[in-house]
Chain A
Amino acid sequence: MKILIVEDEQQLLESISGYLRKQGFICEEADTWLKAEDKLLLYQYNIVILDITLPDGNGLDLIKLLRNSNPDTGILIVSAKNSLDDKLTGLDLGADDYITKPFHLSELNSRINAIIRRKYFHGNSHIIHNEVEIDTASKQAIVNNKPLNLTKKEYDLLLYFITNKNRVLTKDAIAEHLWGDNIDLADNFDFVYTHIKNLRKKILQEGGTDYLKTVYGVGYKFTES
């Protein structure tokens, strides 16, 4: 999967592409509107991550351009403004999702994976990790060919972990992923712990391996083995 990252802040650009490369994506970078336009006209990308506030142009225009030339490309808008207008215009123009700065890289990755599943597998993908399998069409997790009886939150959590395999996910990022950033309940980390405990228990019950490792004081990590 090839991704173009359009972001004028060099440091952020490097961080994003660094993280995504480790997840196995091929990343290209553009830090101005003109460079982004050039690349979009010359090459094809599976996903474009687009900061819409660029110093030399409005990112929304790039969406129009892209929709005409490559309608299949997935577009994820990144904006510093948590503005409903931008969000609606962006989505109207054909963007697939919208994320507000600052964001967790793991969340960005999870959103990109969701777009890929929707766009390229028509929501009908199976994510397989050893004995653990996720059927995204029926939103069902399977361990050793036996379906797990997961709650919606536990399913979301497992999907989030598997798409961010081998990555330390902080409790903050997990909480935000599960409950959104509008909920300002300060001590929601206990709830993260409860969900992880239950998820782990259910996987172990069906004879699965405990891939969920606690990274002390930081968060959790879904390990390879």
Chain B
Amino acid sequence: MRLLQKTNRYYFLFTAILLILVGTLLYYILTNITKNEITEKLVHNKTRIAEQIKNNNDVIELPPVIEISALELFQVNRLIVNDTVMFDPVENDVEPFRQLDAIENIHGKTYRIILRQIILEPHDYYNSIAFTIITAILLLLISLYLLNRLILRNIWRPFYYNLESIKNFALQKNKSIKLLSSNITEFSELNVSIEKLTEKANADYQSQKEFIENASHEMQTPLSVIQAKLELFLQSENLNEEQAAQIKSAYTSVQRISKLNNALLLLTKIGNNHFVQKENISIAEALEKQLLHFDDFIVATKLEVDNIMGKDITVNASRPHIEILLSNLIDNAIKHNIYQGKIKIELQGRSLVISNTGKPLTVNPNQLFERFKKGNPSSASLGLGLSISKKICDINGWQMNYTTKNEMHTFLVNFS
């Protein structure tokens, strides 16, 4: 629920309760005022009638409104005012009345004067008050809704725009975040904080990346020296078999480090957006070329390659990106395959789908694209291929995902 909706809900609830309270109060005030007014009027009328009787004037009786009777027995003066209900012939219905019942002794005679005044029934009060209150609440609701839209469109617009910017913010892009300024204190304070935070994150990320890059570069030269020295050592005439094998294993390890180093450099380079020159590349053509590279491996493991080239996909990207991506995916499909297994390559719409037969996964599929996650820990593979592929996809805004079904492993790259 949006903040505005939430606050409005409270406002509305509060106002509605308030209005209902006001309505109830109004009801009591109104009934009281009218009751007092009517009582006052009845008392006045009784005084006037008593005056008339005193002056021996005829007083017209008008039941049930005016009833006067002379009493046989003497009674002391009294005055009772109360509410009653009785049949009104005019309305032809039972109606509520305010009634004044008085005993007056005039010229030694005792009179009983009963005056009545029809009053409004309680439900009449209820109805009119309720109608007013409900109308007020409805009006409130409509105006709140309209106000909401107005506020959302004006005051909250920078907020939602900025929220979208934050969602799209990525350290790899190395771009400072663009925020819409607002003259609302909270929002502008938030903007300042976000800008500071992202700048800091960007700077930290860059220095981390530079560190990895520099470290990798610095390692290349000593590695070259070790490799060259070992290679020369291997050429010595008087090495025995055991010595040669030991040098060879050191040599192979150096190679492994340098490959790892190169792969890490490649990862940072992709992150740096180093391959900037973009061109239109046919995926089908690039695939064909890459498959040729792997021919030996495909033939040797007797893999059946099912190449379903649908409609070709043209992608605007840098060529090294595409080559590395395809090479890694094919490499992966071969490496994790079984003897006489299958590889299926398909172009569907804007997607490239590469599936291969293989043993069930031993790592969590969610960690598949992480660095150094390997299906087989003892494998000589570096475990960087898939994270390099993922990085290439991320940088270019492509989707890449992995699914598995019936011992078939499928990687899908969506180029749109």
Contacts and interface: CB of A to CB of B under 8 A. Distances in A.
Contact of B224 (A12, A22, A182): A12
Contacts of B185: none
B144 interface: no
Given A105-B228, A105-B231, A188 B241 contact: no
A135 interface: no
A189 to B, nearest CB: 10
Nearest to B228: A15
B32 interface: no
A162 to B, nearest CB: 17
A191 interface: yes
Interface in B287-306: 293-294, 296-297, 300
Nearest to B224: A102
A183 B293 contact: yes
B379 A218 contact: no
B231 A191 contact: no
Instruction: Please indicate which of the listed interface residues B227, B293, B379, B385 has the most CB atoms of chain A within 10 Å of its own CB.
Output: B227
Contact of B324 (A15, A18, A182, A219): A182
Contacts of B220: 80-81, 101-102
A102 B297 CA distance: 25
B54 interface: no
Contacts of B232: 15, 18-19, 105
B380 A186 contact: yes
Interface string A1-16: 0000000010110011
Given A84-B274, A181-B262, A183-B327, A218 B225 contact: no
A150 to B, nearest CB: 14
Contacts of A168: 234-235, 244
Contacts of A18: 232
A184 B385 contact: yes
A9 B294 contact: no
A103 interface: yes
Interface in B245-291: 245, 247-248, 251-252, 254-255, 258-259, 262-263, 265-266, 269, 274-275
Contact of B259 (A184, A187, A217, A219): A184
Contacts of B382: 184
Instruction: Please indicate which of the listed interface residues A15, A101, A183, A217 has the most CB atoms of chain B within 10 Å of its own CB.
Output: A101
B229 interface: yes
Contact of B244 (A85, A105, A182, A216): A216
A225 interface: no
B224 A83 contact: no
A120 interface: no
Contacts of B221: 9, 12, 80, 101
Interface in B48-66: none
A80 B227 contact: no
A170 B381 contact: no
Contacts of B175: none
Contact of B296 (A16, A80, A84, A153): A153
B293 A179 contact: yes
Contacts of B269: 82-83
Interface string A210-223: 00000111110000
A217 B323 CA distance: 34
Given A80-B220, A153-B296, A217 B244 contact: yes
B99 to A, nearest CB: 107
Interface residues of B, number: 49
Contact of A217 (B226, B228, B248, B381): B248
A9 B224 CA distance: 10
Nearest to B226: A102
Interface in A154-171: 167-168, 170
A213 to B, nearest CB: 13
Contacts of A136: none
A197 to B, nearest CB: 12
A170 B234 contact: yes
Given A15-B229, A106-B231, A182-B324, A82 B266 contact: yes
B235 A102 contact: no
A12 B244 contact: no
A196 to B, nearest CB: 13
B77 to A, nearest CB: 119
A218 B245 contact: yes
A38 interface: no
A191 B244 contact: no
A105 B224 CA distance: 10
Contacts of B244: 168, 215-218
B335 interface: yes
Nearest to A180: B293
A16 B228 contact: yes
A211 B296 CA distance: 24
A42 interface: no
Contacts of B359: none
Contact of B297 (A101, A104, A181, A191): A191
Contacts of A215: 244
A190 interface: yes
A101 B266 contact: no
A130 interface: no
Given A168-B234, A216-B244, A12 B228 contact: yes
Given A82-B269, A101-B221, A179-B293, 13 more contacts: A9-B221, A9-B225, A11-B229, A15-B229, A80-B217, A102-B224, A170-B248, A172-B252, A182-B327, A183-B293, A185-B334, A216-B244, A218-B245
13 contacts: A80-B224, A81-B217, A84-B320, A100-B262, A102-B258, A103-B227, A168-B235, A172-B252, A181-B259, A187-B380, A191-B297, A216-B244, A217-B244
